[in-house]
Structure 1
Amino acid sequence: MTSIISAIIVLGVLIFVHELGHFLFAKLFDVGVEKFSLGFGTKIVGFRKGETEYLISAFPLGGYVKMIGENGEGELSEADQARSFAAKPPLQRIAIVAAGPVFNLLFAYLLFILIYMAGVPAATTKIGEVIKDKPAARAGLMANDVVTAIDGKPVQRWDELAKTIAEGKGQPVELQVRRGETTLTIRVTPESRSGKNLFGETVTSPVIGVVAAGEIITDRFGPLDAFVKGSAQTWNVIKLTMLSLVKLVERAIPLDTIGGPIMIAKMAGQQAAAGGVSFLAFMALLSVNLGILNLLPVPILDGGHLFFYFWELVFRRPVSMKTREIAQQIGLVLLIGLMVLAFYNDIARYFLGQG
């Protein structure tokens, strides 16, 4: 039940943020909005305020903002025609459509800033295990040693230690180590190790053969530092998401890694149990994914609409309705196929034990 509630909260918030972007920019450019719905299909609850009906609908995996004249339909009054989506210049339509995914990216950005201000757990440089017959063991490093500097550069967190060694391309490093009350300088020459990266590809990287002690502290940052770190983290997640999509197309990442609502529910429950920061980080990650995926130039997604409006902007004429209808049908087939694959993977993973 916790997983279901957590998933409803995550998806509800992200869908609301996405549709809010469309809604606010529609209002900004004086486009009439008939409906603002969280979910698709049958109306569960709703109310009307002004010209807009606000709804929660039965199928929760999405939402929509229905604007006057959005599909270029005729039979509008003169007043409605002036406030119709189709009557607006291409740049305004581009802004309205792009606002949804952009709001998701901005929301993730704000979440990352809040996360850094609230506090991020980080492992110290205390060594928990020195692997036998590896460079660290041969150089004399011991369990419970604390690495304080590498080649004279202070380090305080395990990720700094690992990153510095990885970027050293196997060159010898001098570790300044605190052992009890004593400070030592130990020279270690890393060795190469093959392993799998995030995408399942085999990579070779330099290692010295130590394992973190798992001593965790919480790093909290002021607003300015959180702004800088939140910016970097948002950009890193955007790059990772885009690279993952490329790897999927290249089949470097297998299609059975794609997850659907069951996977989201499971992960949401796990992150909620891990604490507020983990839950917010999971929401930020999903928000970036939602924003990037919606910007893909696939008909029926926001990116597909943007492609048509940019075409109109460049060539000074709209794409024909017949072409758009065919493209929408192709996009719908692709989207349904992706949803079927995600549901199949979820069922195989969680009910058939194949993942």
Structure 2
Amino acid sequence: MLFTIVAGLIGLGIVIFVHETGHFLAAKAMGIEVEAFSLGWGNPLVRFSFRGTEYRISSLPIGGYCKLKGEQNLQPGESPDSARITTEEGSLFSVAPWRRIITFLAGPVSNLLFSVLILSLIWGIGYSIQTFGNRIILVSEYGSVASGDSRYPADIAGLETGDRILSIDGEKVSYYRDIQELISIRADKTTDLSVERNGEVLNLSITPMLNPQTGGGIIGVSPWIEAVVEEVSPGSPASAAGIRPGDRIVAVQGHPVSNHLDFLQALQGHPLRFGLTVERNGERLELRMVPDYDENGNPLLGISYKSITSKQQASSVIDAFSRGIGESFSILGLSIRSFALLFKGIDLQQAVSGPIRITYMVGQVASSGFSDGIMTGLISLFRFLSFLSIALFVMNLLPIPALDGGLIVITLFEMIRRKRISPKVFNRYQVFGFIFIMTLLVFTTFNDIFYFFTNH
């Protein structure tokens, strides 16, 4: 848990530091003096001055900040009754409005460029994913073990258990991961499927439904996972029963098993002991298992099934950058659509994360990845940070007072009027923004706490 928290704080800090670095570099280029630039927050441990800026390494190595000369005018309550916003040479409000816009814009743009760079590097290095094939199971047929409803889009469209999805809206599908990614961005959109069934190729139309917990699209299918054991946990019920890696489970309690859900379906009565048939080296063996169950009644057997390892890597440097740019803008589009989904009845407790849950998620991704090796951990961590960085890009450009987007809007307003906004109006604008942000922060923080109490 400690590693998860520390890794999460450091990861989130990297994204924030990239953002502040963008503001720092743009301010320097636009002729705005930077009074202080810090790596981390809190009391400075190390400080030195160079060319008018005090550089600091602070006690809390989380993110950082960039203090611009004259930025105190951005804070609510700063001389709201004065006739004009005071300006000094080299201060934020002494430069032309377009220079301020570039400075405000540079933070979010740095986050977007960070994502492009990281994803391009990952594509260049290459990475592996664990997934399953493109063969599917209808979860409605296994409602008791797959949280299935009676009718899903897959049932309405005419899909059947055992079908292989070959393409979605013309995009090739090789793995179940492809199905998840392509369907998740098509909620409530009519989608064309190419499906293989019994050697024939069928063309079907489907409209994925919105999952209120995630905000993504779902059609009600699960991957067809062959009941072939890949790993057995030491000391687990499966180990005690004599199951070995490579065994194929062919029957449980006398019920034939074709896939992993058949196995789970056979255990819905929560038997204290059951018999199973496995195939090993061409022979069938009869075994008996005493399972464990969690607090929700789910069987804890200590086995994992054989998956497919897919290697993803760009063919050249140009291809790596092309893929990095393409994926970044694909995530950007998804992030923008996600904001619209907030008004479509999604479960805000599940779908909206605050700083606590985001930190935990970053750390969880890191710790899970590092358990498979240093390189896997680094790739998993920075891939997630690239997604988070794009979310920060979108969030900061919203036209909300006190955010970069709100400051850009009010500066554009000044340019159109050719007259600087009065301190009183500017102060009210900023006060509204800070109240909104603090309200959102309180809501998401309590939402995170409630989420952890109900899910952990």
Normalised-by-shorter TM-score class: 0.7 to 0.9
Q: Deviations over 1:155-180 (max 9, x none)?
A: 6444557759x9995677457xxxxx
Does structure 1 residue 49 correspond to structure 2 residue 49?
A: yes
What secondary structure, in the 3-state scheme, does the structure 2 residue paired with 1:86 have? helix
Give the alignment of 1:59-74 within 5 angstroms: 63-71=64-72
User: What is the aligned counterpart of 1:263 among 347, 357, 360?
Assistant: 357
Please say if residues 199 and 252 of structure 1, whose CA atoms lie closer than 8 Å, have aligned partners that are also in contact.
no
CA RMSD of aligned residues (A): 3.8
Change (3 A) 1:27 1:187: closer
Structure 1: 5+ residue runs without aligned partners?
75-79, 176-183
- 1:279 corresponds to which residue? 381
The letter of the residue matching 1:220 is Q
- 2:102 corresponds to which residue? 95
Does structure 1 residue 353 correspond to structure 2 residue 454?
A: yes
- 1:319 corresponds to which residue? 421
- 2:313 corresponds to which residue? 220
User: What is the aligned counterpart of 1:309 among 411, 415, 421?
Assistant: 411
Change (3 A) 1:187 1:168: farther
Please say if residues 312 and 319 of structure 1, whose CA atoms lie closer than 8 Å, have aligned partners that are also in contact.
yes
Q: Deviations over 1:285-317 (max 9, x none)?
A: 111111111111111111111111111112211
- 2:116 corresponds to which residue? 109
Q: Deviations over 1:122-163 (max 9, x none)?
A: 46774666567987768xx59xxx98899x997644455775
Please say if residues 129 and 309 of structure 2, whose CA atoms lie closer than 8 Å, have aligned partners that are also in contact.
yes
Measure, in 1, the Cα distance between the counterparts of 2:390 and 2:216.
27
Q: Deviations over 1:292-349 (max 9, x none)?
A: 1111111111111111111111221122111111111111111111111121012111
Cα deviation, residue 252, structure 1: 2.6
Please say if residues 127 and 212 of structure 1, whose CA atoms lie closer than 8 Å, have aligned partners that are also in contact.
no
Q: Deviations over 1:212-266 (max 9, x none)?
A: 6631221111322222221121111111211222222x15333323222321232
What secondary structure, in the 3-state scheme, does the structure 1 residue paired with 2:92 have? coil
> Which structure features the higher share of helix residues?
1
Change (3 A) 1:2 1:318: same
Measure, in 2, the Cα distance between the counterparts of 1:192 and 1:155.
16
Change (3 A) 1:293 1:60: farther
Rg comparison, structure with higher value: 2
- 1:36 corresponds to which residue? 37
Change (3 A) 1:48 1:128: same
Does structure 1 residue 16 correspond to structure 2 residue 24?
A: no
The letter of the residue matching 2:103 is I
Change (3 A) 1:59 1:232: same
Please say if residues 71 and 86 of structure 1, whose CA atoms lie closer than 8 Å, have aligned partners that are also in contact.
no
Cα deviation, residue 210, structure 1: 5.7
Measure, in 2, the Cα distance between the counterparts of 1:252 and 1:153.
29
Give the structure-1-normalised TM-score.
0.78
Change (3 A) 1:197 1:136: closer
Change (3 A) 1:194 1:93: closer
Change (3 A) 1:218 1:22: same
Measure, in 2, the Cα distance between the counterparts of 1:56 and 1:44.
6
What secondary structure, in the 3-state scheme, does the structure 1 residue paired with 2:416 have? helix
Measure, in 2, the Cα distance between the counterparts of 1:206 and 1:347.
30
Please say if residues 124 and 215 of structure 1, whose CA atoms lie closer than 8 Å, have aligned partners that are also in contact.
yes
- 1:81 corresponds to which residue? 88
Give the structure-2-normalised TM-score.
0.62
Cα deviation, residue 68, structure 1: 2.0
Please say if residues 15 and 63 of structure 1, whose CA atoms lie closer than 8 Å, have aligned partners that are also in contact.
yes
- 1:178 corresponds to which residue? none
- 1:211 corresponds to which residue? 224
Cα deviation, residue 46, structure 1: 3.6
Number of residue pairs matched by the alignment: 331
- 2:200 corresponds to which residue? 186
Identity of aligned residues (%): 31
Measure, in 2, the Cα distance between the counterparts of 1:61 and 1:338.
21
Cα deviation, residue 280, structure 1: 1.1
Structure 2: 5+ residue runs without aligned partners?
80-86, 143-154, 227-306, 370-376
